[in-house]
């Protein structure tokens, strides 16, 4: 029965996933035409050196990054709202009459949300690779493009982390961490929907407030862990990659704990504190 619910949820989410794909496809095409195609036509050395061209390129990339952020946030809003409406609104009466145990109900709602989130993340990554790799290849050639992409990875992943593990291992580690983070954030998002339904009024507002508050607390804890770990290894260049790895392990453990706690709280709320509209 859980499998049927997962298939049903994926079917219901398919239109939004398709819209996300179309939006990312359109944005990628526009970004390629604006940021990459002119360089391919006129040559990397003959374009992009003026102030106006530099400003326009910067604005284009900022607009592109903003659109990707809007798509990511929009997907979070959709998943949280759908979970709330199907579980705690008037539609929730039908949902809770299904012959499913509480854990089957939670997993039937959560697994499709996680799969959709991962698919959207992969689409965003592919889009970003096409734009940024295309830009650097067109502007400076393949060899310098690889160098520049490597520099970007070092900026986002941490120079010492990248230096210590290499691009392939670093990408694998960061990929595993990203999946754990996505699963954790999805469980927390659904927990916030459950917390919001505990209130008799302003439920949607309380869902949003809960999500922001919990994420700010998590961000503060992760920042503290990172500060402590990196402070302990900052004097040794060669140990900073290890320090980043230790930090990622701690953060991954925290996120695993968070998803377990979120699941347990969701289970308790649905079983004992259900407050349908």
**pLDDT score of 96:** 78
pLDDT in tens, 264-277: 999 999 888 877 76
**pLDDT score of 31:** 75
**pLDDT score of 260:** 93
pLDDT in tens, 87-116: 888 777 778 787 888 888 888 888 988 998
Residue ranges in the chain whose pLDDT is less than 50: 48-49, 159-162, 237-238
**pLDDT score of 242:** 65
- Among candidates 42, 273, 6, 23, which has minimal Cα distance to 123? 23
- Among candidates 266, 268, 260, 215, which has minimal Cα distance to 109? 266
pTM, two decimal places: 0.77
Q: What's the chain look like in SS3? A: CHHHHHHHHHHHHHHHHHHHHHHHHHHHHHHHHHHCHHHHHHCHHHCCCCHHHHHHHHHHHHHHHHHHHHHHHHHHHHHHHHHHHHHHCCCHHHHCCCCCCHHHHHHHHHHHHHHHHHHHHHHHHHHHHHHHHHHHHHHHHHHHHHHHHHHHHHHHHCHHHHHHHHHHHHHHHHHHHHHHHHHHHHHHHHHHHHHHCCCCCCHHHHHHHHHHHHHHHHHHHHHHHHHHHHHHHCCCHHHHHHHHHHHHHHHHHHHHHHHHHHHHHHHHHHHHCCCCC
**pLDDT score of 262:** 92
Distance of alpha carbon 108 from alpha carbon 98, whole angstroms = 12
Q: Where are the domains of the chain?
A: 1-140, 176-276
**pLDDT score of 162:** 47
**pLDDT score of 99:** 80
């Amino acid at each position: 029965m859980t499998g049927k619910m997962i298939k049903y949820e994926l079917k219901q989410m398919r239109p939004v996933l398709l819209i996300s794909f179309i939006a990312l496809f359109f944005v990628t095409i526009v970004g390629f035409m604006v940021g990459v195609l002119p360089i391919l036509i006129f040559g990397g050395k003959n374009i992009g050196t003026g102030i106006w061209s530099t400003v326009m390129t910067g604005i284009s990339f900022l607009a592109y990054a903003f659109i990707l952020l809007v798509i990511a946030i929009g997907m979070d809003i959709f998943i949280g709202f759908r979970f709330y409406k199907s579980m705690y609104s008037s539609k929730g009466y039908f949902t809770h009459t299904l012959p499913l145990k509480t854990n089957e109900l939670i997993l039937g709602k959560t697994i499709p949300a996680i799969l959709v989130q991962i698919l959207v993340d992969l689409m965003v990554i592919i889009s970003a690779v096409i734009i940024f790799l295309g830009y650097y290849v067109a502007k400076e050639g393949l060899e310098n493009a690889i160098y520049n992409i490597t520099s970007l990875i070092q900026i986002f992943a941490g120079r010492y982390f990248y230096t210590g593990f290499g691009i392939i291992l670093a990408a694998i580690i960061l990929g595993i961490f990203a999946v754990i983070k996505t699963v954790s954030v999805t469980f927390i998002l659904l927990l916030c929907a459950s917390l919001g339904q505990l209130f008799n009024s302003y439920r949607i507002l309380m869902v949003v407030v809960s999500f922001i508050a919990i994420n700010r607390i998590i961000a503060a804890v992760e920042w503290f862990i990172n500060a402590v770990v990196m402070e302990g290894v900052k004097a040794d260049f060669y140990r900073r990659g290890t320090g980043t790895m230790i930090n990622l392990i701690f953060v991954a453990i925290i996120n695993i704990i968070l998803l377990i706690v979120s699941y347990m709280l969701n289970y308790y709320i649905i079983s004992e504190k259900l407050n349908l509209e």
